[in-house]
Structure 1
């Protein structure tokens, strides 16, 4: 029977022979790394090419051990990051085809500048898309609050940037000067875009219920190429449409990403973000205090001015009254030189004029006094209302700070005492458990005990010095008492040191398996016991009955 066609091996060998041509050697290929396995001697890659989000080509590739160090070091030096999935790369490859394993690409070289260029192209595309949609400058137009009271913070959980930020943020929170709410998101790798977008959406929804004054986005720095994960369109769109101003501190002061350019403020690092918030709030508190002082000064000046005006009016009225009396007296003297009859008439006339002048003067004086009193009362009420409104608002803020400090002062001594009691109980339990091994590890136990209590004393002393100016006298006295108790406990442990007891002439009896023997009855049941002296151990064999005939009187 004649065989039809050719065998599979013959077909594959024919393909392999054609692929050995020079045109399939050292070919530069543009592609994306979708898988990167670097767990053994070689690196195995999955390379793809996509169009409109769909994979149109896929191929496996290998970096053999002989070429691994050259390629990885070259790429990391050129881009600042290592080979990983999700990167656009330009590779120099040769086609390798084996009948048993199929087609494979062997990577011989890599161009790091291509990957960096692709990152810049991606940034430009995102910025152009945001400009075209009219969203690029939306967040920069958001007004900043005069005082930050409540802030949302987006950061990778447990990152170094979060730690740097919390050093200052926790201090502000403890004094009631600002409140922070943290949201964890992945900012590196393929999950970065979806993780950040979900959290940004959540923050904007919560803002509608309880508004935030600002959103801070921070991370702990890293390689420049790691910024590529932050250059994603979805996260950028959420930030542009955010209901609150955004402040970024992504750990790169010279190399910025899209999020830095579209946010309201680019602080550079997490530490500078919290420094900005702290400085702003402290400046506002200082300005408020200056306004209160200014209002007090204005009130005092207004009272002095009104008092002086009232005194001047009183003097003027008194002077007018004196002039009127003088004129009336002069008129009477002039009339006296005339005829007696005319004199009497003039006296009556001027007397009536004098009474009218007095009555008019009294009425005028009373009206001026009432008018001055009314004006002073109205002005004083206005000043007091303004002062009280400002004073109430700022006293409420300062009361929150005092309340937090009082709570801290109340709970701190109790926490310190509980820490001391736990330390004392732990040392006591360790002492009783390890007493039968005292001779063998005396030196180690001594060093451990000294170091433990020295560190505890040093730590408590440091805390005492740090908070001495803030704690009330009762708290300082309590810390001193606890320090004295720690010293006394250390002295007690030293006095009960097993080697110190043995030096007094006592011995420790134990069985051959190391368990302590405390009664004569137990010793009689043993074939051999060990007696530990200060300098050595002697094995003995008990004989005779246990009796108290030879027992010293001082032990009775």
Structure 2
């Protein structure tokens, strides 16, 4: 083998090989074959070797004759492409012998055989890419710097992350231009992520939006929950395993919408899906009790896609309480900070929902027991009141009837007595009047006989006339007295009858009112009884003896469940507490 041997180290093997050097296994050394320009290998030439010309002249300057002009007789020989690119590689190597700390944004990453290949870029203030290049972290370097970076930041090298790296430009004739990375500053990445979150917080604080969702009342109960999550995610699976159980029991309904949770456009897609779903449910007339935004854990830079101002503002302005379960306990996003309730994981979100539902169920169970107890107590009290009222009314009615009968008898006796007295007085008056008339008549007759015998006839005539008039008057007076007595007797009889009828009517009305009040009270009691309660969706559990079962600790195994429209039997099983 003929050529110029090089003094390269093991770490330079890729570079000298790319420039065209060959390996001599016998001497275990790289060499430049004859006919290949030595200029690209200047840094590895042995001491005392030929000083290579400058790449700018040796590679591109044509051969000149002694007069300084190009020989017309000799055609230009030219140089191989590998020699040209080798010169470029040497120039790049000389210009950048050491790495330069550079700010980059990762566009794409891929790993092959332990090597990490990246697409990196720089964007201006408007997000326009102004520079782009390929970069690589060789396997031996990646195994050294990447674990340290991930431990320090909790982030992984991925699209969208901004890095401060030590970059060394490299040009290889066979592979072209690339950048080798051999160091990453974790403090810069942490500072960039935190600065982005701080900027969003401060802007929302200035606009008075930061506390809006947190100040909403937390859901008192859960009947309908809107869930935003990446489709097929592990966190969503953990959430649904418990959510399906609640749905199967008809306790709570879950509406799912899916979106990407990392990568360009993540925040706008989540925002669009979230607001669209809330609007649709609002149009249906049944808005959700809460919105749950969940995803499984990941690197910090995976979570960083959620630190977007427009997305966070949409959550702040949402009129529905937002629950977040994003990542693990050590992860934190601005979404977590503005949400109504923050949970560490999706599993804890569904556990929190179950806890509230269980609390409400226990309260309802206690209230149902209170209703049954109060209804039973009210029924007993009402029953006693009805019995007492009925007894009092019956006794009062009987007393009133007895009193009415007594008063009627007394009134009838008074009427009879007064009638007898009136008749007796009238008879005595008539007798006295008759006696007076007779005495007067006799006196006048005697006087007439003594005074004027001549007028005897006249007297007699007058006497007869007077006697007739007296008799007529006496008869009239007697008829008047009899008629007056009869009228008084009839009036007293009518008054007695009316009094008796009024008393009977009052007694009947009192009985009717008592019956009406009793029926109304019984209807009210029946309206508050178990049958109405069963009609509102509750059930009554009884043991084999028909007694109510009020505790889960009961030893009964065979029970009867009374529903609104019938009975069902069931078998109780003991279940160990988890």
Q: TM-score, normalised by structure 1?
A: 0.58
> Which of 113, 116, 136 lines up with 1:43 in the alignment?
116
User: Among 371, 394, 402, which residue is 2:537 paired with?
Assistant: 394
| 1:207 is aligned to 2:281 | yes
SS in 1 for 2:112: coil
Decide whether aligned partners of structure 1 residues 469 and 335 sit closer, same or farther in structure 2, where only a CA change above 3 A counts.
closer
1:363 aligns with 2:505: yes
CA gap 1:294/1:313 in 2 versus in 1, 3 angstroms: same
1:153 aligns with 2:296: no
Partner of 1:403 in structure 2?
none
Distance in 2 separating the partners of 1:474 and 1:373: 43
Q: Does 1:316 align with 2:396?
A: yes
- Report if aligned partners of 1:60, 1:105 keep a CA contact under 8 Å in 2: yes
User: CA 1:180–1:362 in structure 2 vs 1: closer, same or farther (change >3 Å)?
Assistant: same
- Distance (whole Å) between structure 2 residues aligned to residue 473 and residue 325 of structure 1: 61
Residue 295 of structure 1: CA displacement?
6.9
Counterparts of 1:394 and 1:157, CA distance in 2: 37
The alpha-carbon distance between structure 1 residues 258 and 357, as it changes in their structure 2 partners (threshold 3 A), is: farther
Residues of 2 paired with 1:71 and 1:362: CA distance? 111
Displacement of 1:228 = 1.8
Return closer, same or farther for 1:208/1:57 CA change in 2, 3 Å cut-off.
same
CA distance in 1, matches of 2:307, 2:105: 17
Aligned Cα RMSD in Å? 4.7
Task: Give the length in aligned residue pairs.
Answer: 401
Q: CA deviation at 1:74?
A: 0.5
The C-alpha deviation readout for 1:353-382, integer Å capped at 9, x for no partner, is 876665444333333333344445555556
For residues 502-549 of structure 1, what are the alpha-carbon distances to aligned partners after superposition, in whole Å with 9 as ceiling and x for unaligned?
xxxxxxxxxxxxxxxxxxxxxxxxxxxxxxxxxxxxxxxxxxxxxxxx
1:85-132 C-alpha deviation (Å, 9 max, x unpaired): 211222233444567766543322222232222222222222333344
2:103 paired with 1:30: yes
Q: Closer, same or farther in 2 for the Cα pair 1:128/1:287, shift >3 Å?
A: same
> Could you tell me how far apart the structure 1 residues matched to 2:525 and 2:319 are?
38
State how 1:261-340 maps to structure 2 within 5 Å: 261-288=337-364, 290-291=367-368, 293=372, 296-297=375-376, 300-301=379-380, 303-304=382-383, 305-322=385-402
Secondary structure at the aligned position of 1:315 is classed as helix
Which residue of the partner structure matches residue 444 of structure 2?
A: none
- How far did residue 385 of structure 1 move? 6.1
Deviation of 1:328 after TM superposition, in Å, equals: 7.6
Partner residue, 1:250: 326
Contact in 2 for aligned 1:152/1:212 (Cα 8 Å): no
Output the CA distance in 2 between the equivalents of 1:268 and 1:142. 20
Residue 184 of structure 2 corresponds to residue 110 of structure 1: yes
Secondary structure of 1:34's partner?
strand
Please name the residue that 1:221 is paired with. Answer: 297
Displacement of 1:67 after TM fit?
A: 1.6
Q: Between Structure 1 and Structure 2, which shows a larger proportion of helix residues?
A: 1
Instruction: Assess if the C-alpha contact under 8 Å between 2:219 and 2:321 holds in 1.
Output: no
**In structure 2, what is the Cα distance between the partners aligned to 1:365 and 1:253?**
81
1:127 lines up with 2:201 in the alignment: yes
Distance of aligned partners of 1:258 and 1:473 in 2 relative to their CA distance in 1, 3 Å threshold: same
- C-alpha distance in structure 2 between counterparts of 1:89 and 1:133, whole Å: 31
* C-alpha contact 2:292 2:323 (8 A) present in aligned 1: yes
The answer as to 2:154 corresponding to 1:80 is yes
Secondary structure in 1 matching 2:180: strand
Match of 2:316?
Answer: 240
Give the direction of change, closer, same or farther, for the CA distance of 1:202–1:62 in structure 2 (3 Å limit): same
| Bigger mean CA offset, 308-317 vs 162-171 | 308-317
Write the mapping of 1:349-498 to structure 2, written as runs, cut at 5 A.
Answer: 358-378=500-520, 391-394=534-537
**Could you report, residue by residue, the CA deviation over 1:169-214 in whole angstroms, capped at 9, with x for unpaired residues?**
2222222222223333332344633542343244224313433423
* In 2, Cα distance between equivalents of 1:174 and 1:73: 45
- In structure 2, the CA distance between the partners of 1:46 and 1:173, relative to structure 1 (3 Å rule), is same
Distance 2:90 2:251 in 1: 78
Give unmatched runs, 5+ long, in structure 2.
1-63, 71-77, 425-484, 541-557, 561-567, 572-578
Stretch deviating more after TM superposition (322-331 or 101-110): 322-331
Distance 1:251 1:374 in 2: 69
* 1:455-486 Cα deviation digits (max 9, x unpaired): xxxxxxxxxxxxx999x9999xxxxxxxxxxx
Task: Quote the Cα distance in structure 2 between the aligned partners of 1:254 and 1:366.
Answer: 84
1:67 aligns with 2:130: no
